[in-house]
Structure 1
């Protein structure tokens, strides 16, 4: 018994140290990129001389933090186990028939109560979004929405942005203009629809946690988090595909949890599989990387759920079919132009551009291969945290003609400029993984571009409450919270990435390896996002929306 306890204690220390090293590395690498733009700056202070010295000196602090987190979660698990102790014994008393009848009655009561409970949650979350809506009426009409509508009404239909989202936006604007209503009214209708959808998804999550009989701290914390966390309200009224996509990704997460934790029930019949197919299809229709997020999970799910491989293969093939039809025949039928493939090459764009700007080692014969795709003038536009300036001048046709040669050249250049390539990648992705990043924000504004073009939407912010407008402007555009310790971290998407890492380490420490599948979609989504053009808060929002599910995954003890 003593040896067993000693082994358990040793294991928690090992994983606390491992977590300490990981988080110390994230913290110090982020600090160096934030303040110096490079990992390789040398300090005169011997304790901070190199990045490795900086990481080493922070390891004890973060080891203690991880250890406390693990001990706290163990204690919370123990409390839940103690509060449920004795229940099986009480159920075992009496005859079987009354037990069965009582169980059925309770199940029917719960089912009857679920509908009104869902509606109550739905209304609660919808009301919690109203302050952001009133403070920024008709909502945050920004990001890609103006171009999605303007391009389409001008006669250029492109799959650069998800056509489902573009179709909803254009449908609402067409209807309101037909009635003679203003573009502000159209934007308001778009955002009210988003509020309804996101509130419904949050209600679904709350009912899921309630059904799983989570402790009060998690249930109440989830309600408060969804109601009071300011970015939920702001994203609910932000006319961007990322809002609904984030909610749908969390629904996909719940589907994966259910199929992995109760496969016999889940795969009994086709109802759940069909619903999963619809949910996963929505994911790929709402963002271009949604398909890759879910399809990358399929091999791991197949291995774990091999007994149910037939239905899983049907599900996977269905996704491939939807994706193929959408990107082939469907685009041809409606006359839409496919998205530009350059969106997938942000790492290539940023690493080569930084190497050129930094005076790295690029040989003349290599430059001859690079120049038709990105010339010197284009690479000089390099911006560390955003690939768009260079990407927008990237010649995709020239790249496709010599793709193999270009990528070979890119690899060769990288072998000689490893440090520059690492710096380029970390600068572009910094906001995803560093909680103290300084340029993270969610602008509380409306964009009115191409003001003289009637095809474009012309939306102006008309706040219904100046106080609420000032509050959300301070949170979003001004990012005033950056001046407040702790609050700064709570409102940073980097913190929720750290929570994902912590949850993964904790599950491995507890030897609950199967539960890593529960959060696998988040890792796959994050992997595709790291290949994107920038680390924007709306890209990291799925991790924020999934926060209660990550805590549930850590709390839920395997039977």
Structure 2
């Protein structure tokens, strides 16, 4: 290994020039994308790119350490694949050879960039903070909450949107509680608006109560997250950036005032993330502390009651946490506690919900991907479906819904999905789905990407509707009357432009920071650094946001609200880079 390092370092200049020539050529001539066309049209830009790549390659190769730096190829490859998939899905349907060449070139370039970046980060020392005291958590919480007040006044009394109206129809509309939406959140929303009506005679005040309490919950979790970064002596500049990210970010402000289960779930997700870090870092202390285990159990139970996918993400993450924990006693304690938590969740969502009269949710929500794939084949290659296959399909999804196929959202097809008939014909339907997939691989892949590419490719927002339903949803069906009364019209205009006109897309860097693909990029970057530093406890911890991201790929539509729980975790995800997993904190 040392011999290879010496050879690479000895001929670093020649190697850097060769690498730069190859990569520049592939990017400029080996692709027909809009980015390549820009380089082709400017000799000066092409020359600048060549010099920049040569300098970067030389900087990396002159001190190259193969044994230490080879793992960086994996995040580089993942970034490259995500870019190429998105680029050729939305921009150009180029030939396979050009796609492969571009992917190789991008992997090499990103590898060089990541190695240099990771080297720099490894040199940064932990720093003590003037805020290194418990009482400053309350100041952080107050600061974040106050910075959100202009948004509250602009959106007063809040944004009754998305599933808010259907949830109120279950209670105030007397349709009966259903597990289709989290009962815990339905009751929280209902009691909030009813409190305002019963005490102040106004549903507007009731929605304001919901908005303010949700703001308090989310801002407290974000303040706790930032304070944990301070506690662990993370770089001061990064902490300042984290504070600005959670306080003045219009995306977070708008969602904090929107009636969707994703927001309280996001707050609990942050608490879960940090508690898992404490567990993985010092399992012996954490697992023997009744106080910590009580907090841990309560947060995870509430998390899973707010979203069904919480259970699957928890199971997935537990496997890696079990691997990261050392000592048989610790592993046993962790396993027993997780089984206990899952049993309690199962009891609440099962027998106890049935006793309380909660009707079960519809399992069709789980099948968005296969129903969209079948509908795409039906829409574009109906002749590829036999009569017998079509009969089985139409038992579950009638033709009237298949013809409504929209590649960007599954709701038109999903609304006609007959769950009872699916349960009766499950094996036959799955067989048809598999058979069609074998003969229509490209259509199946395209269908999957239409519902997922926005979660890893940030240059295009393929959401079929506006970015955020800023003015609410389904007001014609609402059992309560809400009247929006903006008290800060200028700020209301700013937030509206952000939500509906996507004005942020015109601003470099900022457009990436407020994109639903940003959490994925942050997770892969942090995972790459953890492997680079051989900090495998962090790898286990990052499986929580990564597992959640994986569930997004199976959802009905690409939407930023679904990614919001991991979006707000970005400061801690990236902050892990600065944290020494073996350092003991004092606070």
Q: TM-score, normalised by structure 2?
A: 0.83
**Which residue is equivalent to 2:335?**
313
8 Å CA contact 2:374, 2:433 repeated in 1: yes
8 Å CA contact 2:324, 2:536 repeated in 1: no
8 Å CA contact 2:451, 2:556 repeated in 1: yes
| 3-state secondary structure, aligned to 2:461 | coil
Identify unmatched segments of 5+ residues in structure 2: 9-63, 583-587
1:449 paired to 2:474: yes
8 Å CA contact 1:429, 1:530 repeated in 2: yes
1:77 paired to 2:96: no
8 Å CA contact 2:454, 2:460 repeated in 1: yes
2:204 to 171, 184, 191: 184
8 Å CA contact 2:317, 2:543 repeated in 1: yes
2:221 to 185, 188, 201: 201
1:530 to 542, 553, 576: 553
Deviations along 1:30-75, whole A, 9 cap, x unmatched?
A: 1233347xxxx3xxxxxx433x513522543454344334423332
**Which residue is equivalent to 1:279?**
299
1:327 paired to 2:372: no
| 3-state secondary structure, aligned to 1:154 | coil
Equivalent runs, 1:488-499 vs 2, <5 Å: 488-499=511-522
**Number of residues of Structure 1 aligned to a counterpart in Structure 2:** 519
> How far apart, CA to CA, are the structure 2 residues paired with 1:536 and 1:444?
11
After superposition, the CA RMSD in angstroms is: 2.4
Identify unmatched segments of 5+ residues in structure 1: 42-47, 85-108
**Which residue is equivalent to 1:9?**
65
| 3-state secondary structure, aligned to 2:545 | helix
Cα drift, residue 25 of structure 1: 2.0
> How far apart, CA to CA, are the structure 1 residues paired with 2:113 and 2:498?
30
Cα drift, residue 3 of structure 1: 5.3
> How far apart, CA to CA, are the structure 1 residues paired with 2:313 and 2:91?
33
8 Å CA contact 2:148, 2:248 repeated in 1: no
Equivalent runs, 1:116-515 vs 2, <5 Å: 116-156=135-175, 157-305=177-325, 306-359=328-381, 361-440=384-463, 442-443=467-468, 445-447=470-472, 449=474, 451=476, 456-515=479-538
8 Å CA contact 2:281, 2:581 repeated in 1: no
8 Å CA contact 1:385, 1:429 repeated in 2: no
Cα drift, residue 174 of structure 1: 1.9
2:95 to 41, 49, 54: 49
> How far apart, CA to CA, are the structure 2 residues paired with 1:353 and 1:18?
35
| 3-state secondary structure, aligned to 2:179 | coil
**Which residue is equivalent to 2:36?**
none
Q: TM-score, normalised by structure 1?
A: 0.87
> How far apart, CA to CA, are the structure 1 residues paired with 2:336 and 2:294?
10
**Which is worse superposed, 437-446 or 338-347?**
437-446
8 Å CA contact 2:530, 2:539 repeated in 1: yes
| 3-state secondary structure, aligned to 1:80 | coil
Cα drift, residue 518 of structure 1: 1.1
8 Å CA contact 1:442, 1:477 repeated in 2: yes
- Identify if the C-alpha distance between structure 1 residues 304 and 379 changes in structure 2 by more than 3 Å, giving closer, same or farther: same
> How far apart, CA to CA, are the structure 2 residues paired with 1:340 and 1:471?
38
8 Å CA contact 1:16, 1:63 repeated in 2: no
> How far apart, CA to CA, are the structure 1 residues paired with 2:372 and 2:228?
42
Deviations along 1:304-359, whole A, 9 cap, x unmatched?
A: 32431332123222222222222222222221111100011111111111111111
> How far apart, CA to CA, are the structure 2 residues paired with 1:310 and 1:18?
33
> How far apart, CA to CA, are the structure 1 residues paired with 2:380 and 2:319?
41
- Identify if the C-alpha distance between structure 1 residues 364 and 303 changes in structure 2 by more than 3 Å, giving closer, same or farther: same
> How far apart, CA to CA, are the structure 1 residues paired with 2:395 and 2:562?
31
| 3-state secondary structure, aligned to 2:395 | coil
Cα drift, residue 558 of structure 1: 4.7
> How far apart, CA to CA, are the structure 1 residues paired with 2:160 and 2:4?
59
- Identify if the C-alpha distance between structure 1 residues 3 and 518 changes in structure 2 by more than 3 Å, giving closer, same or farther: farther
- Identify if the C-alpha distance between structure 1 residues 310 and 61 changes in structure 2 by more than 3 Å, giving closer, same or farther: closer
- Identify if the C-alpha distance between structure 1 residues 472 and 241 changes in structure 2 by more than 3 Å, giving closer, same or farther: same
- Identify if the C-alpha distance between structure 1 residues 3 and 203 changes in structure 2 by more than 3 Å, giving closer, same or farther: farther
| 3-state secondary structure, aligned to 1:476 | helix
Deviations along 1:385-410, whole A, 9 cap, x unmatched?
A: 11111111100000011212211221
**Which is worse superposed, 134-143 or 504-513?**
504-513
> How far apart, CA to CA, are the structure 1 residues paired with 2:380 and 2:360?
34
> How far apart, CA to CA, are the structure 2 residues paired with 1:482 and 1:59?
28
> How far apart, CA to CA, are the structure 1 residues paired with 2:575 and 2:242?
10
8 Å CA contact 2:396, 2:419 repeated in 1: yes
- Identify if the C-alpha distance between structure 1 residues 381 and 294 changes in structure 2 by more than 3 Å, giving closer, same or farther: same
8 Å CA contact 1:283, 1:290 repeated in 2: yes
> How far apart, CA to CA, are the structure 2 residues paired with 1:335 and 1:11?
60
8 Å CA contact 1:447, 1:459 repeated in 2: no
| 3-state secondary structure, aligned to 2:65 | helix
| 3-state secondary structure, aligned to 1:30 | helix
**Which residue is equivalent to 2:28?**
none
